[in-house]
Structure 1
Amino acid sequence: MKREIIDASQLELVDQVVDIKRVTKVVKGGRNMRFTALVVVGDKNGHVGAGLGKAAEIPEAIRKGKEDAIKSMVNVKLDENNSITHDVTGKYTGASVLLKKSPEGTGIIAGGPARSVCEIAGIQNIRTKSLGSNNKQNVVLATIEALKQLRSPEDVAKLRGKSVEEILG
């Protein structure tokens, strides 16, 4: 599958910190405290990415996480009622996330990490279920993995050599 490169400089990006962890390393002189920030970045219009930043101070870790997230942004295919085009499951290590297409007025029915990704991506109607691991980092990355798998009806019709009407029924 061809990867689309997204130019983040033209997008109005919004970032959301999903998780901040304090990591301690025990050394000869005592304990070294550092912070890890999991950040989701997107434009609320079909682009989203997640990144991890590590630093001695929290603001620096968030900045690094934001930069990492911008590098890994993906394009999300949305339908006419701001939902996903079809049901999909994403897996990342021990976490699986099921994303289900929903009609207008459903809202975002999702747990914390998956909700952050869906909101930042601009999805307004979706149902999700987190299966397996509930590690925030893995759930966020599994959700993004699921969003990467989405295809528009036009793409599917072109692949199968049919019209969009035949695909949608």
Structure 2
Amino acid sequence: MARTPNSEGTEQRRGRGRGGEGGERDGRGRGRGGPEAARPEREENEFVDKLVHINRVAKVVKGGRRFAFAALVVVGDAKGRVGYGSGKAREVPEAIRKATEQAKRNMIKVNLREGRTLHHDVTGHFGAGRVVLRAAPAGTGIIAGGPMRAVFETMGVADVVAKCLGTSNPHNMIKATFDALVSLNSPRSVAAKRGKKVGDIIGRRDGAAAATAA
């Protein structure tokens, strides 16, 4: 059966559309989409998240029990930024995802001394929970309980001594720890408030520490 000119032209146009112009458009589209697709992955890799606590609750309904999960997650960039969040869902992965997103939205910036420890001792409380955070010399490590240890590890603190007084509820411990971190002051901020130089503030702090040790 002989092919008509219209059918040959249609086949040629279809062939050019697949291999020629269509392939170029697909290639350009993939080329532009590559960096944009990689950018969210780099942002995800910048943060370190730790699951602090997960609670399972059961609701008794007709025909059985219905389970739900509540997750508490701490997220940080290991450079002084840290946040916490909680999420509830019928499945554990979904609860963790909700908690992680909330933690990323509620991140705070904490100024660290030499990038490894706190500038000064501080206390924090929330509800029945009370925590004491103390700066430590190099090589001390993180001496803290489970929930507080997760906060310091994700924040990037290498040397700190922490103690929880009162309740051991993970939620109260985390909130009390953040209450203490928010009240931290760096020498630069104190000098700016008092109208002095940073050297004066640091010199007085070192002199007081030496006098206490003596």
TM-score by length of 1: 0.91
**Aligned equivalents of 2:159, 2:115: Cα separation in 1:** 7
Deviation at 1:11, TM superposition (A): 7.8
Cα distance in 1 for residues equivalent to 2:193 and 2:59? 51
- How far did residue 25 of structure 1 move? 1.9
Please state how far the C-alpha of 1:124 moved relative to its aligned partner.
0.4
1:19 is aligned with what amino acid?
H
- 1:120: which partner in 2? 154
Q: Which residue does the alignment assign to 2:195? A: 161
Change (3 A) 1:45 1:134: same
How do 1:141-160 and structure 2 match up within 5 A? Answer: 141-160=175-194
Unaligned runs of 5+ in 1: 1-8
- Comparing both chains, which one has the higher relative contact order based on Cα–Cα distances under 8 Å and sequence gaps of 6 or more? 1
Q: 1:62 to 1:81 in 2, by over 3 A?
A: closer
Bigger radius of gyration among the two: 2
DSSP 3-state at the match of 2:46: coil
Structure 2 residue aligned with 1:94: 128
Deviates more, 1:21-30 or 1:158-167: 21-30
* 1-structure distance, mates of 2:192, 2:84: 30
* Shift in Å, 1:30: 3.1
Question: Is the CA contact 1:81–1:104 (under 8 Å) kept in the aligned structure 2?
Answer: no
Determine the C-alpha separation between the residues in 2 that align with 1:10 and 1:59: 17
Who is 1:4 aligned against? none
Correspondences of 1:18-167 after superposition (within 5 Å): 18-80=52-114, 82-167=116-201
Question: In structure 2, what residue type is equivalent to 1:137?
Answer: H
User: Hey, which of these two has a bigger chunk of helix by percent?
Assistant: 2
Q: Determine the C-alpha separation between the residues in 1 that align with 2:129 and 2:181.
A: 15
State the alpha-carbon separation in 2 of the partners of residues 24 and 90 from structure 1: 33
Q: Provide the alpha-carbon RMSD of the alignment.
A: 1.4
Read off the aligned partner of 1:162 and give its amino acid letter.
Answer: K
CA distance 1:73–1:166, shift in 2 (3 Å):
same
More strand per residue: 1
Unpaired runs of at least 5, structure 2: 1-42, 205-214
Percent identity over the alignment is 51
In 1, distance between residues paired with 2:191 and 2:100? Answer: 36
Q: Deviations over 1:73-99 (max 9, x none)?
A: 010110115101111111111111110
